Amino acid sequence: MAPVPLIVDTDPGIDDILAIVLALDRPDLVQLKAITLTFGNTTLDHCRNNMLQLFDILQKHIAEDPSEAHRAKLAKTLASSPITLSQGATGPLGGQRFTASYFHGRDGVSGISTLPGNPWPLPKKVPEPLQETEKAAHDVILDTIRSNPPGTVRIAAVGPLTNIALAWQKDPETFSKVGGISVMGAALDVPGNTTPCAEFNTFADPFAVRELLHNAPLHPVLRKQNKRLPVDLLPLDITTEHLVPFERLCGDKIEKKGILQKYLAAILVSPRKNMNSYADPDKPFDPSVNDLFQSHDPLAVGHAMFCPSPVQRLGQLPDNESLINQAYEGWQMKTREFGVETDGALTRGYCVVE
């Protein structure tokens, strides 16, 4: 079976970068067609810089990886086809703009751009296979859907949903041909991670969430078929349970490896300190509890890679009224109904579950 065409809509971001590396590791499953950038973890200028930096490091990693098999695999992946890089939304559909620089650092990657000696300089030109375009992110999303058979393109949305909502608003007919949208966002039955009641991506643009989940099914393109958009939501309820010991990602043994491992170890400094700070100061520090990386964005990309899309599972866009409580290849799906607060000073991004 041919690899699935994949768009990663992202605000890189530390876990976003790990998610993109994951997508590149399985060219047999997905072909990364486009990386569309949105505000979120940081501002758009830093998002762009972080992608140029990552792909420059990947090219250098090919040259120095001691494993011939690893070098050959990554080189083949990066040479297989161009990846469009496009900038998108600088702020939400409505309301004030917020970023998660308090967690990810001003540059989105633990502040490594300000380290003495500039150990991770930006490349002088856009590294292959990235092909930067002046087209807006939502137009790139629509172009990618148009240029592939209906129901085949997957989107892993791991930032605020602004670009996705703009694509839907501009051309609902084309956008309704997307195969599946794996969304990292929301907090349904658990506390938020930005406010006591809201997850960051939903908090950053609750208007976009409302547009895609609540307004879209009322549009004539979907309403005449009684359909909704093929969204699979991966909220904090799920992602916070998928934990990886930091020692496996950025321990001393990892740092002594190649440039890619050293880079990932450097950008994980900030989230590791943050997660460690939640440990009870009156108890001995327990790495098995307090030194764990929460795989938010990698889980959403993994879902787009390994789980059949809603269109694949159902053979069509999901019905707007039917409940879908099924399991597919190890993934369990359950329909949840909820509203999203857009205007509350204290409750922005809060998901009110019915």
Q: What is the DSSP string of 43-56?
A: -HHHHHHHHHHHHH
**Per-residue b/e over 337-353, b at no fewer than 16 CB within 10 Å?**
ebebbbeeeebbbbbee
β-strand partners of 332: 327
What pLDDT digit, counting tens, does each position of 263-316 carry? 999 999 989 999 999 999 999 999 999 999 999 999 999 999 999 998 888 888
Residue whose C-alpha is closest to residue 264's, from 74, 54, 106, 9: 54
| Tokens linked to 210 | 């409302």
The HSE-up count of residue 29 (CA atoms within 13 Å, CB side) is 15
Q: Residue 327 in contact with residue 333, Cβ under 8 Å?
A: yes
Pairing state between β 351-353 and 338-340:
antiparallel
pLDDT of residue 253: 73
Q: Say how far apart CA 311 and CA 292 lie, in whole Å.
A: 34
Pairing state between β 83-87 and 30-37:
parallel
Element (H, E) at 35: strand 30-37
Q: Long-range contacts: 109-115, Cβ < 8 Å, 24+?
A: 109/12, 109/13, 109/14, 109/17, 109/46, 109/50, 109/53, 109/266, 109/267, 110/14, 110/266, 110/267, 110/268, 110/269, 110/270, 110/271, 111/270, 112/266, 112/267, 113/46, 113/49, 115/266
Q: Residue 57 in contact with residue 106, Cβ under 8 Å?
A: no
| Tokens linked to 290 | 């307090």
- 4-275+286-353 belongs to which homologous superfamily? Ribonucleoside hydrolase-like (3.90.245.10)
Q: Say how far apart CA 211 and CA 217 lie, in whole Å.
A: 9
| Tokens linked to 187 | 């907090």
Q: Say how far apart CA 285 and CA 265 lie, in whole Å.
A: 21
pLDDT of residue 75: 87
- What stretches in the chain show pLDDT beneath 70? 66, 254-256, 321-324
Q: Say how far apart CA 214 and CA 193 lie, in whole Å.
A: 23
Burial class (CB in 10 A: 0-12, 13-18, 19+), 335: exposed
Q: Say how far apart CA 243 and CA 183 lie, in whole Å.
A: 18
User: What does the longest C-alpha to C-alpha distance in the chain come to?
Assistant: 60
In which residue are the tokens 């092909």 written? Answer: 131
303: amino acid identity, one letter: H
pLDDT of residue 323: 63
105: left (phi over 0), alpha (psi -120 to 50) or beta: left
Burial class (CB in 10 A: 0-12, 13-18, 19+), 120: buried
Q: Where are the domains of the chain?
A: 4-275+286-353
| Tokens linked to 54 | 């990552």
Pairing state between β 130-133 and 154-157:
unpaired
